[in-house]
Structure 1
């Protein structure tokens, strides 16, 4: 049962009809032009990286208010529009196979904007590694979109899926410069716990993970000792008064616990000292990090955070009343009404008259929709 007032981003199938997609792109063009004229490219990226603004924009153009397509469709439209227009922002990446083209696309963007491509390629890889390895809540990334402006500001909107629960989770980033609470926001269902090595108090666990990785075979033996304990074997070492089985099950609930020895060798060979470089080691996946964190907690009493950093159980449903929703919630999209809105905003954009929009905002900002009209889409 979906909680009232919260967009939980269930996984949806289906597609946007061609006639609606064309109008979405046209409306997006107008909104982005006005947005950048008012706030500049940095201000636009700050808003795209805000989960509530992003969801409101999604609702405004007529996409489902509560589905995983809020991310994939909306970022796809943003990418097409921003890469076509000369507004000072370019976009790389996308869903599935498109995400793997991000480095090549960033090189093209960097050449156009005269910025260092490798810096942004590294940021792109690091952001993806954080939300698939450093932060684990049962979601597998399948979508990664990287935004960058001519001044070098950047934002990322990426999404993971939990196939078992049929839910998605969206991660928003903006100009993050360190791996301590780095997200601008995370939209989704808050869990009771998540393995979080980028929490605000994670400096100690980050250092311990790097140190453990460099111990190679010793950390493998420690992990085998822990596994023996869970099977009831008597071993020469027992951690403090700790329920070992309970701790291990918490880690195993997120997936297999396995150490990639080659990745650990890379950490030692490269003399890795900072957490960014550690995460970017080839072969360092979620299972290996779980193994290292488990050893850190049970053998060395250095615990990771289990705080789920979801920040936004979002509810900008009122914006769906602009043109309606693709799945007819709160009402079906009418082509004529949509075209009238596009024409109205086009005139405002051409004349540069923003006062009308400000008056409309004052009139509507306190308006509340009927709660019974907000129902899940399918």
Structure 2
């Protein structure tokens, strides 16, 4: 199981017109049905976890290539498009934007009788992937959209999006359950981003392994001791690059959360993430202490790896693997050709694919 990508897109406040969304739903239903019939639901999960393919799908469905609305609208069209066909397809969707995302666990559980596995594993994957992107990858984006797609045998893909209030950009995170060895160590295998952020605390980077171990160990210690160490550390002169670690840290506000982690005695960083109330500030404070006390250096590398689908106008800094991209487009092209569409809709979709592929 692996996490396969992150995408940055400009925020657009508008919604897809009702007539367009209804058209997208119908087209999404036919494309999903064609892919499941030809390749199986597992292949569809893998494709949705690919930021390139997802963006191409959004364009084929008729939405602005660069808009942040691609994420919410495509996920919504997919979820609504397959409504009532989930059991037949062996492919399910749960979650959504804003308050709808909070219903994800209940929606997963509601499909329980149609699954061949215990849905609790899917609920955990949904919650942990959201916790990682909200708290362990501190890149300036706060999640406001979360959807999990899954199969009857428990395979899953998560597509979620966060907002940066300052830059007015959105960033999309893709997760693929199959092949994921750890939720907390290099879970990305591909990332799509308009740009890299300068101030990032990346606690899921390979380079942050010692920070993760030290943070989990520190969280098991008495809160009083940690708060004393934190008060002392905040008065030290630190390198400028460490600013993100101690920005907006108030020891008094951490007492309740540190007590909760002390009582939970987490055995790993993943367990620490699962403690109720542990969020970005708590993890930042623990990472700060891990460096001061143990000399564990966290990563400040933005995990974003992919740019727009053609690698940017000059192909830098996100070169495209053309062979992989060609294969992704071919799967989508075959789905469009096999979908039960009118000639006009099919021709329109194929022309969009040709324009993307030829760029």
Indicate the TM-score class for this superposition, using the shorter chain for normalisation. 0.7 to 0.9
1:13 aligned to 2:7? no
Q: Is the 8 A contact 2:246 2:285 kept in 1?
A: no
Q: Does 1:303 align with 2:303?
A: no
Is 2:111 aligned against 1:109? yes
Q: Distance in 1 between matches of 2:131 and 2:337?
A: 44
The match for 1:187 is 192
Match of 2:224 in 1: 217
Checking the alignment, whether the CA contact within 8 Å between 1:174 and 1:184 is kept in structure 2 is: no
Match runs of 1:14-163 below 5 Å: 14-85=14-85, 86-163=88-165
Structure 1 unaligned regions, length at least 5: 1-6, 231-243, 318-343, 370-378
The whole-number CA distance in structure 2 between the counterparts of 1:345 and 1:117 is 29
2:222 counterpart of 1:228: no
Cα separation, 2, equivalents of 1:116 and 1:170: 28
Partner of 1:332: none
Distance 1:25 1:228, change over 3 A: same
Matching residue of 1:170: 172
Contact 2:208 2:297 in 1 (8 A): no
Shift, 1:130, TM fit? 0.3
State the 1:125 CA deviation: 1.0
TM-score, normalised by the number of residues in structure 2:
0.81
Q: 174, 194, 204: which is aligned to 1:198?
A: 204
Asked whether 1:269 is paired with 2:271, we answer no
Counterparts of 2:243 and 2:55, CA distance in 1: 35
> How many angstroms does 1:346 deviate by?
8.2
Distance in 2 (alpha carbons) for counterparts of 1:345 and 1:156? 22
Report the 3-state secondary structure (helix = DSSP H, G, I; strand = E; otherwise coil) of the residue aligned with 1:146. Answer: strand
What is the aligned residue count? 316
How far the C-alpha of 1:83 sits from its partner, in A, is 3.0
SS at match of 2:294: coil
- The 5-angstrom pairing of residues 337-348 of structure 1 reads 348=338
SS of the residue aligned with 1:201?
Answer: helix
Contact 1:251 1:257 in 2 (8 A): no
Which sections of structure 2, spanning at least 5 residues, go unmatched? 1-6, 312-333
The CA deviation at 1:177 is 3.7
Q: Does the 8 A contact of 2:220 with 2:261 survive in 1?
A: yes
Q: 1:251 aligns with which of 227, 245, 269?
A: 245
For normalisation by structure 1, the TM-score amounts to 0.77
Distance change >3 Å, CA 312–CA 43, structure 1 → 2: same
Cα RMSD (Å) of the superposition?
A: 2.7
For residues 241-290 of structure 1, give each alpha carbon's deviation from its aligned partner in whole angstroms, at most 9, with x where no partner exists: xxx1524423356x545562232223222221022211010110101111
